[in-house]
Structure 1
């Protein structure tokens, strides 16, 4: 981070991220699914996240809006430790992500331990990120077989149920290159669910799709929301946010400018920057 700031691992005893935010065993005191406190992230001189606080309760859908470069995608990537925070803390399911507290210091977990934590967090990327050399079924069973050591019959049965759920039961033996963009993204959503995660992150899941394919992906996401899946969605789809979100968060310049119910943030925003953004998008 710029300015010589210490990393999260080098903090002194009594720093807020340690003294105020973490209990002795690394467990949160509340019941939130996701808690970010004072999160900072820089890439060289570029200060991307500037002290973000965010709480997402279990079963809630949070939609994050904001202009390009506001830090939305970086924020998502800190939630599953694809990006390490420079300052602050990230907890998922009540536990510190990527670190273990020993006394008054935080020690980064091993890669194996971090991967184990990530099995509880599904991630849907805007560019699908399917394995091109594997069939649709194999894309869905790869992680349950390798990360969870599930029996093959169990993993394949789960894959079949998920493909049925996203309307692609007839594509199990197809390869990603033979599918439309919308179909590939629905496979990607099914793959994210194959580990039965507690939380699913969506990074602009419709931005790479042709307009006529957006609806089929949003319908799958709406079904997930109705089922009580905890979701954090970075998107520009205002209609989706209005219909599905419990909370809408507006970010700009690495900060949460405002957050609240869709009716408040989208229809009666309190901050001038939010009003300007919503006016342009709509």
Structure 2
């Protein structure tokens, strides 16, 4: 019974940490505890009140009076907690001056960068009528020139491939894959960005892939449908003459035109007879681009 009564008395004491202002006066460490009754007696004991180390408690009413308002901020001035009023004002002025000279960039999120990239690729395909860019450096330069928020975007993707542990050949292949990934992400954001998928679909059909396999890849999102491939091939066929004319005008100074007669006959054995020597089955025209760095041959009449 006595132990239970002792426990009840201890609970009533409400032990708490010794206030910092009384640690030195009472000669205790910072982890010591004291009850409310002892703390109140200490603040009333003449022996402690006359000690140089003693600091009187700050009442709550006094705390409310000691509030400093600077701009939109309120500061409570308590000893050993904040600076003096003059020092705090100077600190606030210095802080605001530093903020004025600091330029904190607004970080563009990944989703915003993908949207910006999608807008650029859409404009390139549908307004400028440009073909997809597969060279990684050209693709990167194109994005960064179009929008400064995309500066370093392609490099960030490249760093995520852990290039330091791979060979140069593997890193070069990964850059090509990243270009494909960018087109793929853009096509998810905007379904009308499909020039990359159109090239894949045309390649599959030219390689002899079945219609069902092309449509299966289209459902996955890697290609366009067989019907769309056929439609685009029809458009290319109708514009073929204009395409060749534009190409010739653009490369007129760096181009050879070769006419090959009997194209198929020269690639197989023929046995001449008394009546004929050969058949003219095909006439082929081939365009060859020359290296623009090679000096031109002078045409002498």
The TM-score range, normalised by the shorter chain, is under 0.3
Structure number with higher helix proportion: 2
Structure number with higher strand proportion: 1
Taking structure 2 as the reference length, what is the TM-score of the superposition?
0.21
Which structure would you say has the larger Rg?
2
